[in-house]
Structure 1
Amino acid sequence: MMMKADGIGLYIHLPFCVRKCAYCDFCSFAGVDGSIISEYADALASEILSYRKRGLKVDTVFFGGGTPSLLSPEDFRKIMRAVRESFLLSDEAEITLEANPKTLDRKKIESFVSSGVNRISLGLQSIHENELKTLGRIHSYSEFLETYRLCREAGIDNVNVDLMY
């Protein structure tokens, strides 16, 4: 007999990036075509659906990577639909999306929010342009500030900022 877990956390890995950062040890692949990302999203949704009828309650969903914000809004909706069909998703569930500031715009942020995202983790890493360049980041500090503002305007009260020291 399978025991039903209460309040598990679900981690969904998206191993794709625009460019692989020099410091990154995570499983990720840079420069991948959008159609491959979409195929990966289909496979993820299918895998998630295989957990239906197990009665697992989920309190947190964390999209990590890689750069999950590379997902199209349609692919993100598809994955979240599979999560909702497969798990007992708490009404208060924290749904986090890791993001590179350069990969988000107002429309994409609003789409992620409408699909349930209520927490964004922005990979700033540094406020110094020369350090961002050395780290291989694709965004500038000013682009981060704009993305942060857009997240707040879209109603995301919980914005995490990753910094390196």
Structure 2
Amino acid sequence: MPMTLDGSCQCGAVRFSVESHTPVPYQRCYCSICRKSAAGGGYSVNIGAVTDTLSVNDWDQLGLFHATRDDGSHSEAERYFCTSCGSQLWLFDPRWPELVHPVASVIDTPLPVPPKLTHIFMADKPHWVTPEIGAWDEVFDAYPELSLADWHEANGCWVA
């Protein structure tokens, strides 16, 4: 059975729940979009969940935006946030309609501790950020070789 993730914005106006087979917050993204829209430590952590299970208490409290890439084009992904406090809550990308990606920092449910981390888009990392890279961690200048689901399966973290 998938893990239920309950999340909320900072002011409490938006509360949501979603089911996840991939709840381990293992991937730190240093790309300019993630770190500027939802990060505090120079990176953002998203997790995966099943779109059809997303339940939101008040859709009217949500805003969405399409981030601008470094080349000036707009991302297809929809980034949802609370219009009262600005907390970014999740990302939905229509290219993968079965998935929604909550921002790990807004999840109120205790999340599993990752056995190791994957650091991605290190080429975009700001100079002031000193990553904490463990002995078993993996580091990539762009996207990693394994998808979110593949990583969970390969590391024994998939929740059936």
**Into which bin does the TM-score normalised by the smaller protein fall?**
under 0.3
Give 1 or 2 for the bigger CA radius of gyration. 1
Q: TM-score, normalised by structure 1?
A: 0.24
Higher relative contact order (CA 8 A, sep 6+): 2
